[in-house]
């Protein structure tokens, strides 16, 4: 069955008649095909990103009872490759401490909390108990824990919750990790406005406040981690992020974070929030992998509401203004690649389309351009334009722009195209733009263009992508 939606759909502000499929699970017309979304109902922040025993765990803010925000539980999905997700039963549900707001998870390798009962290491989840709305005289916003002895399949709440009492306002979103240098657990916690605090613990249950951090222009959902500069393990910096992905670069001695630069913009798109990165990825892999909530997307007539961003590897590179975080899609996307439309050493003139024979709704586009005399160049994807302005040295897409200077006269662009999202990366992740869009279902066209002059395509690969849901997923 197909549901014919007729009328004013919010498709670039244009009236459209659309043939929208709603009944084929995981293949609905606006269902992301390689971004995670729950089978049904509302989702927002990614929570508890942790790797254990060959599985990436993705918990998420979830309303199991409705399509809109509310009744916050921790939904749960697992994946072996970050592409194919299996949705599991609800992990953590509301109780006397309130609903279950955002947080993080760790593997307690040395059983510091004493929760382990079998051979499996314990996964410990930190979440905020949060009344919504907060009842006068009722419980305040506090930090609680739950733990699992069976690889995250069942969960037990700590009988002495909360482990961090109310401090200020709606303090929430604990990000916890093991800090090897000081041999203690560290928690970054949002307090209020632009204020955060750091805490330490030896056993995950008793916490001591260490110091405070302020991130101008940021609030909620902290993330805090160390990255090697240019891949050199002997040169590292610490990054402290807020929910919008903006970050400070600095140092951390186990007690205090000292900012050296920032805040720097982490993403330039329309829909990027509540960022979190994975704990406990094996040292042999060594990546810092981040997922965000693509907040504010539209999914008319769908059984689900909202989606996650595509997992990205974070690196810290020496750029002219200092060390800066770069984002690029994880390499696992290559497992979904199908046919490749390739171009190289081609001069693209105005009014030409280098992709006239290509159509579809799922793409991984990799292109390198050499400037000649074009004023603008870029791609038109399912009716939406991503362009680079040579004069402005900026990429524009879906009403947003990001600064990007050529490197030795060249610009590298990567675009992930899913059914309801465009994620643009410039010069190997120096900038990223994470945005939702709602194309016409029947518009599957794609163009590569130049305006006001010519551009040289040094190389271009336009890979069609297979659906992750139908190649080993649910």
Residue whose tokens read 């330039």: 268
41: left (phi over 0), alpha (psi -120 to 50) or beta: left
Any domain includes 472: no
Distance between CA 61 and CA 39 in Å, rounded? 14
Domain check: are 438 and 303 in the same one? Answer: no
Distance between CA 35 and CA 469 in Å, rounded? 10
User: Given this model, what pLDDT does residue 395 score?
Assistant: 98
Listed residues 307, 332, 357: the one ending a domain: 332
Alpha carbon 194 to chain centroid distance? 21
Domain check: are 318 and 397 in the same one? Answer: no
Any domain includes 315: yes
Distance between CA 356 and CA 473 in Å, rounded? 32
Q: What is the full DSSP assignment across 145-186? A: EEEESSTTSS-EE-TT--SB---STT-EEEEEEEETTTTEEE
User: Given this model, what pLDDT does residue 471 score?
Assistant: 53
Any domain includes 45: yes
- pLDDT 10s per residue in the chain (474 long)? 444 444 334 444 433 456 888 889 999 999 999 999 999 999 999 999 999 999 999 999 999 999 999 999 999 999 999 999 999 999 999 999 999 999 999 999 999 999 999 999 999 999 999 986 656 667 889 999 999 999 999 999 999 999 999 999 999 999 999 999 999 999 999 999 999 999 999 999 999 999 999 999 999 999 999 999 999 999 999 999 999 999 999 999 999 999 999 999 999 999 999 999 999 999 999 999 999 999 999 999 999 999 999 999 999 999 999 999 999 999 999 999 999 999 999 999 998 999 999 999 999 999 999 999 999 999 999 999 999 999 999 999 999 999 999 999 999 999 999 999 999 999 999 999 999 999 999 999 999 999 999 999 999 999 999 999 975 433
What predicted TM-score, i.e. pTM, was given to this entire model? 0.94
User: Given this model, what pLDDT does residue 21 score?
Assistant: 87
Contacts of 305 (CB under 8 A, 6+ apart): 41, 42, 43, 67, 68, 299
* CATH code assigned at 293: 2.115.10.20
Give 10: exposed, middle or buried? Use CB within 10 Å, 0-12, 13-18, 19+: exposed
Residues marked as catalytic = 45
Domain check: are 303 and 391 in the same one? Answer: no
Domain check: are 217 and 312 in the same one? Answer: yes
Domain check: are 100 and 147 in the same one? Answer: yes
Domain check: are 204 and 349 in the same one? Answer: no
Domain check: are 363 and 288 in the same one? Answer: no
- C-beta separation of 73 from 66 below 8 A: no
Any domain includes 9: no
Q: State the total domains in the chain.
A: 2
Any domain includes 470: no
Domain check: are 313 and 359 in the same one? Answer: no
User: Given this model, what pLDDT does residue 17 score?
Assistant: 52
Domain check: are 261 and 326 in the same one? Answer: yes
Listed residues 304, 332, 360: the one ending a domain: 332
Ranges of H-type helices in 209-347: none
Alpha carbon 98 to chain centroid distance? 26
Listed residues 332, 361, 383: the one ending a domain: 332
User: Given this model, what pLDDT does residue 139 score?
Assistant: 80
Any domain includes 263: yes
Provide the edge-to-edge strand list for the sheet that holds 184-192.
172-179, 184-192, 195-201, 208-214
Distance between CA 388 and CA 413 in Å, rounded? 10
User: Given this model, what pLDDT does residue 138 score?
Assistant: 72
- C-beta separation of 27 from 21 below 8 A: yes
- C-beta separation of 250 from 241 below 8 A: no
What is the span of the domain harbouring residue 403?
A: 339-465
For 52-106, what is each residue's pLDDT tens digit?
999 999 999 999 999 999 999 999 999 999 999 999 999 999 999 999 999 999 9
CA distances (Å), origin 387, targets 90, 139, 350, 429, 471? 42, 51, 14, 17, 33
Alpha carbon 308 to chain centroid distance? 6
- Can you give the C-alpha Rg of the chain in angstroms? 23
Domain check: are 324 and 376 in the same one? Answer: no
């Amino acid at each position: 069955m197909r549901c014919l939606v007729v009328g004013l759909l919010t498709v670039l502000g244009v009236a459209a008649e659309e043939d929208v499929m709603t009944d084929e699970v995981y293949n609905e017309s606006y269902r992301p095909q390689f971004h995670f979304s729950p089978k049904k109902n509302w989702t927002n922040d990614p929570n508890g990103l942790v790797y254990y025993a060959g599985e990436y765990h993705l918990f998420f803010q979830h309303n199991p009872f409705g399509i809109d925000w509310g009744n916050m539980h921790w939904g749960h999905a697992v994946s072996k490759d970050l592409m194919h997700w299996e949705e599991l039963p609800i992990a953590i549900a509301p109780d006397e401490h309130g609903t279950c707001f955002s947080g993080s998870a760790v593997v307690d390798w040395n059983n510091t909390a004493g929760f382990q009962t079998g051979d499996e290491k314990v996964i410990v989840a930190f979440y905020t108990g949060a009344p919504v709305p907060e009842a006068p005289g009722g419980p305040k916003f506090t930090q609680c824990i739950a733990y699992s002895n069976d690889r995250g399949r069942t969960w037990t709440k700590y009988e002495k919750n909360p482990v961090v009492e109310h401090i200020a306002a709606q303090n929430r979103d604990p990000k916890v990790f093991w800090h090897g240098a000081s041999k203690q657990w560290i928690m970054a916690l949002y307090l209020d406005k632009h204020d955060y605090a750091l805490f330490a613990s030896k056993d995950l249950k008793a916490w001591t406040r260490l110091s405070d951090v302020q991130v101008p222009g940021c609030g909620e959902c902290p993330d805090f981690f160390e990255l090697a500069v240019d891949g050199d393990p002997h040169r590292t910096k610490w990054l402290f992020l807020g929910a919008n992905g903006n970050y400070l670069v600095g140092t951390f001695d186990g007690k205090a974070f000292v900012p050296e630069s920032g805040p720097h913009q982490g993403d330039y798109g329309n829909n990027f929030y509540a960022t979190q990165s994975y704990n406990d990825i094996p040292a042999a892999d060594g990546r810092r992998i981040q997922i965000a909530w693509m907040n504010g997307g539209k999914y008319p007539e769908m059984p689900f509401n909202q989606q996650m961003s595509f997992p990205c590897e974070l690196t810290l590179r020496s750029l002219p203004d200092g060390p800066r975080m770069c984002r690029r899609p994880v390499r696992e996307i290559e497992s979904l690649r199908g046919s490749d439309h390739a171009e190289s050493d081609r001069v693209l003139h105005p009014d030409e389309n280098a992709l006239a024979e290509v159509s579809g709704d799922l793409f991984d586009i990799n292109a390198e351009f050499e400037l000649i005399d074009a004023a603008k160049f870029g791609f038109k994807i399912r009716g939406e334009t991503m362009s680079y302005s040579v004069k402005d040295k900026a990429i524009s897409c879906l009403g947003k722009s990001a600064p990007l200077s050529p490197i030795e006269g060249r610009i590298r662009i990567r675009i992930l195209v899913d059914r309801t999202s465009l994620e643009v990366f410039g010069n190997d992740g120096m900038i990223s733009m994470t945005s939702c869009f709602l194309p016409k279902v029947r518009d599957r066209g794609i163009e590569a263009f130049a305006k006001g002059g010519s551009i040289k395509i040094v190389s271009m690969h336009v890979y069609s992508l297979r659906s992750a849901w139908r190649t080993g997923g649910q």
